Amino acid sequence: MAAKAAKVRPAPAGGPGPEARVAEEPKAKVVEEPKAKVAEELHSLKLIRDRRSIREFTGEKIPDEHIEMILEAARHAPSPENMLMVRFVVIRDDQETKVFLADIAQEMAMSAFGGAPFELTSGRLWYIADPYRASQYAKLRDGDLFRYPEKSDTVIIVCASEMWHDAAYQYPNELFGSVVSGMAIMNMWLVASELGYGCGYEALVCSDPRHAELIRDRLGIPPIWVPITAFCIGKRVSPRALGPSRPPLEGLMYQERWGLPYKRLAFRKEK
């Protein structure tokens, strides 16, 4: 049944009087107090804390509906003037392209990590217990760790643009396109995590402009679009509980002015 159009009474000449204006104002909504009292009560924060980079996939298929839920999350990313300067090439069936991306990632990883001495750089994997750390480090150096696009169900080539498409106007602030892409990727990552899938952000494939050009050619990506990552989604081989920790709030935030460390509630003196 069609909804009845609301009757609008014409305003008297000279506009409605102050009383009428008061009567027309919508009732103030009662703003509910946030219910969560401690961080553990927030579902969103739990998802954010539990999210990890996953780099080992089983190669099994994910139902189409789940992939579409993940893509739906990307569509809702915020962007300047809602321009969404981000596009996604969703690769699911083209195994050859997945292997092509895995080859590039491995080659890049070998040149990025291959030459660094174990003693200097293995510490970055401190959170992996011995004796597994050494084998994980070996996979980092020979690039095997980064071949995961080939076992992913879905590889999304995320492309950013700094152009404002409607008006051929370029935002004076560069990097808007990559900021929007980051927000869209994070949306997808959280939904995929809630669904129980693993995700990996494979920037290595686009880090060298020559590789980015090869990807552009292969997938027909036009010049104003810059491929920034191969975002991989798949079924995990195992749940990854432990990952690199983050610095405490004091390590990242300043209070009121640059250089004055933010003080967590737990360390503030009670007034």
Residues of this chain that bind ligand FMN (CB under 6 A): 52-53, 55, 146, 200-204, 243-244
Distance CA 84, CA 184 (A): 9
Cβ at position 35, least distance to ligand FMN in Å: 28
Cβ at position 5, least distance to ligand FMN in Å: 50
Cβ at position 234, least distance to ligand FMN in Å: 13
Burial 114-136 (b: 16+ CB within 10 A, else e): eeeeeeeebeeeeebeeeeeeee
Residue by residue, DSSP assigns 141-190 as HSSGGG-GGGG-SEEEEEEE--EETTTTEEPSSTTHHHHHHHHHHHHHHH
**Structure tokens that stand for 95 in this block:** 């195994």
Choose between 162 and 164: whose C-beta lies nearer to ligand FMN. 162
Region for 217 from its dihedrals, namely left if φ exceeds 0, alpha if ψ lies in -120 to 50, beta otherwise: alpha
Cβ at position 248, least distance to ligand FMN in Å: 16
Choose between 171 and 201: whose C-beta lies nearer to ligand FMN. 201
Choose between 16 and 249: whose C-beta lies nearer to ligand FMN. 249
- Beta-ladder partners of 226: 160
Choose between 84 and 182: whose C-beta lies nearer to ligand FMN. 182
